[in-house]
């Protein structure tokens, strides 16, 4: 098993003929992902490095059996691209695009949920299960198959921590980059039960940041429902109140969403809390190699 993506994942890349779509479609294929189609209106009948291009997602699904999408469409058109993917019956859509208007994402979120589809992102690096499939832009070289699940709001911290885990001789079952916008399609609370029920995940790494209450919600869920060890880190401990730090969602308002409140909640929930990113791989290795564990 893996979480959300596996060897049967068949990806259509929306916006494949753009530079980013082309580059990352190639890297997804090098990772082992079945990239079966691309979509760019007006480019039907062409191909990108052997991947056939269609005018619509519905055509791509009918001709290739695609069941997941990776969206590289510019922000003004991302909503329509996502709605098209959902209407074509795709159950997973990774939205890499950043700067999507807040109200567009609200429409995307509720429409996808109403149709039984899951969004990863937007403004995210995507999802990867080493040895099986990747849908997104996480660098291939940081991964190694293993039994550590990773859920993160930060792209670059994800790369650093996943690579650190690999350098300790351990690997990942699945890694999900949730995205850094105020509204995302999949939250920590959405992802945690997937890893808790995954028999190939023994330990969960949670990487959060200031802003919002997602990490506090995750802590409450961990307290009552997660029995696997959790290693957590919250970025932004030194951020001044009211200062936006990098992500649109990483802003503290009226004293809520501080690093301190999130860290305290996770500690109360029994998580192993790191103060710095470089501590996480050491903590993961110590837990994974403790007597009685795999």
> Does 54 share its domain with 89?
yes
pLDDT tens per residue, range 92-138: 999 999 999 999 999 999 999 999 999 999 999 999 999 999 999 99
> Does residue 126 belong to any structural domain of this protein?
no
**Which DSSP category does 32 fall into?**
T
Radius of gyration of the chain (CA): 19
Point out the least confidently predicted range of 1-5, 85-89, 246-250.
246-250
What CATH code is carried by the domain that includes residue 34?
3.40.50.720
What CATH code is carried by the domain that includes residue 144?
3.40.50.261
> Does residue 87 belong to any structural domain of this protein?
yes
Alpha-carbon distances of 28 from 16, 125, 127, 177, rounded to whole Å: 12, 12, 11, 15
Is 292 a residue whose pLDDT tops 70? no
pLDDT-derived band at 2 (thresholds 50, 70, 90) equals: confident
> Does 160 share its domain with 283?
yes
pLDDT-derived band at 240 (thresholds 50, 70, 90) equals: low
Closest CA to 96 of 126, 68, 139: 126
Instruction: Give the 3-state secondary structure of residue 48.
Output: strand
Token couple for 38: 């691309």
Residue 55: CB atoms within 10 Å: 14
Going by their DSSP bridges, the two strands 10-14 and 68-71 should be labelled as: parallel
Look at the pTM and tell me if it is higher than 0.75: yes
Query: Which residues sit opposite 26 in a β-bridge?
Result: none
> Does 284 share its domain with 146?
yes
> Does residue 230 belong to any structural domain of this protein?
yes
End position of a domain, from candidates 57, 87, 120: 120
> Does 166 share its domain with 237?
yes
Total domains, the chain = 2
Q: Which residues are catalytic?
A: 247
* Domain extent at residue 24: 10-120
pLDDT-derived band at 291 (thresholds 50, 70, 90) equals: confident
């Amino acid at each position: 098993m893996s979480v959300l993506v596996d060897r049967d994942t068949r990806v259509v890349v929306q916006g494949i003929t753009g530079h980013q779509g082309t580059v990352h479609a190639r890297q997804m294929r090098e990772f082992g992902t079945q990239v079966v189609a691309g979509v760019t209106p007006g480019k039907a009948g062409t191909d990108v490095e052997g991947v056939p291009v269609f005018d619509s997602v519905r055509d791509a699904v009918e001709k290739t059996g695609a069941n997941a999408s990776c969206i590289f469409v510019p922000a003004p058109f991302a909503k329509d691209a996502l709605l098209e993917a959902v209407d074509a019956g795709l159950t997973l859509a990774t939205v890499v695009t950043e700067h999507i208007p807040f109200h567009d994402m609200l429409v995307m979120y509720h429409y996808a949920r109403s149709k039984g589809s899951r969004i990863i992102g937007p403004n995210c690096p995507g999802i990867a299960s080493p040895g099986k499939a990747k849908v997104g832009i996480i660098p291939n070289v940081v991964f190694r198959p293993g039994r550590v699940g990773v859920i993160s709001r930060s792209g670059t911290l994800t790369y650093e921590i996943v690579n650190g885990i690999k350098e300790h001789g351990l690997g990942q079952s699945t890694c999900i980059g949730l995205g850094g916008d105020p509204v995302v399609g999949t939250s920590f609370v959405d992802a945690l039960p997937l890893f808790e029920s995954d028999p190939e995940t023994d330990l969960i790494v949670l990487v959060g940041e200031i802003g919002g209450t997602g990490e506090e919600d995750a802590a409450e869920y961990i307290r009552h429902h997660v029995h696997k060890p959790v290693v957590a880190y919250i970025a932004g401990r030194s951020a001044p109140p009211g200062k936006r730090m990098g992500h649109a969602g990483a802003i503290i308002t009226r004293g809520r969403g501080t690093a301190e409140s999130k860290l305290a909640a996770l500690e109360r929930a029994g998580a192993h809390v790191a103060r710095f990113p470089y501590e996480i791989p050491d903590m993961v290795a110590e837990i994974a190699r403790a007597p009685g564990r795999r």
